Amino acid sequence: MLSAKSLFQEIIDDDDAFRLFCSIAASGESQGGWENGRIAALVPDSERALAPKVARHGADEDKHGRIFNALMKKRGLQPVPVPPETDYTMLLEQHGIGLAHGRLKRDEPLTVRDIVTYLAHSRVTEQRASEQMRMLRKHFADDPDLGRAVRMISHDEDNHLAYCHEELLRLARAGHGRTIQRILRACALAEIAVYRDVSLAVMDHMGRILGWSRPKAALLAAGIRAMYAYERAGGWRRMVSLEMPTRRDALGGPATTAVEFA
């Protein structure tokens, strides 16, 4: 019987599949670290209090990239190039979601609208990241090789999501509510399509590596498309709601380290 746990167990047990999975994850986290670092450096004067939190977000993402690379190194594996069709971050940018890398490479201060765009984009993508890591934590928190990594990253992703909620609510109170909701909706609808396409591409690569039968590959693809249909029909709304989080000021302190994985 196919299940999330059995699927990921297959990937974890095979060196080539595990290497591809970790390479994709490490690349995405590293890109996120760079983006947040640049945003922290370019925060406008009116939002300077936000800069340390954005920097903390970026430091966490960099840490996650190091963790995935360390998991490969522990098994004697080297990263592999990330297939473009599996590059979630790049594909989101190509769909006009978030702040373009070209904008972040210029040494020009961002606007408050840019900060709203960044936080709305992060609120949507961190929802996805938090859900994915909770699923992995549910099944692999006690795994002797992956457990610590999964628990640490999951905790951080929950913090990132809480931070986005809190800061967007603050900006909504400052008069940006309609803009926030408009950007959130556009981000969510684009993200679910990109996530579908990336998931199909990743499963296609994994299927070839693991030698899945055509019926098994077709069943997994159908499941991915069914999830997209659910999200397109209304599941996307969970990505745009805002509520004050239980974790307040979740990124208010220094980033935690991951020396045990370095």
**248 has a pLDDT exceeding 50:** yes
Share of residues in the chain with pLDDT > 90 (%): 93
Look at the chain and report how many structural domains it folds into: 1
C-alpha 147/C-alpha 133 separation (Å) is 11
Q: Is 252 within a domain? A: no
Model confidence over 9-48: pLDDT tens digits? Answer: 999 999 999 999 999 999 999 999 999 999 999 999 999 9
Q: Is 146 within a domain? A: yes
Q: Say which residue the tokens 């993200």 belong to.
A: 191
CATH code where residue 213 lies: 1.20.1260
Q: Is 168 within a domain? A: yes
**260 has a pLDDT exceeding 90:** no
Model confidence over 112-146: pLDDT tens digits? Answer: 999 999 999 999 999 999 999 999 999 999 998 89
Q: Is 251 within a domain? A: no
pTM (two decimals): 0.93
Task: For residue 262, name the pLDDT band (cuts at 50, 70, 90).
Answer: very low
The per-residue pLDDT for 164 is: 98
Task: For residue 4, name the pLDDT band (cuts at 50, 70, 90).
Answer: confident
End-to-end CA, the chain:
36
C-alpha count within 13 angstroms, C-beta hemisphere, residue 38: 18
Domain of 176 in residue numbering reads as 4-239
**Residues in contact with 74: Cβ distance below 8 Å, sequence separation at least 6, in sequence order:** 145
Q: Is 260 within a domain? A: no
Whether the CA torsion 162, 167, 173, 177 is positive or negative: it is negative
Q: Is 258 within a domain? A: no
Q: Is 183 within a domain? A: yes
Q: Is 254 within a domain? A: no
**224 has a pLDDT exceeding 60:** yes
Task: For residue 61, name the pLDDT band (cuts at 50, 70, 90).
Answer: very high
Q: What is the mean pLDDT of the chain?
A: 94
Mean pLDDT of 62-77: 97
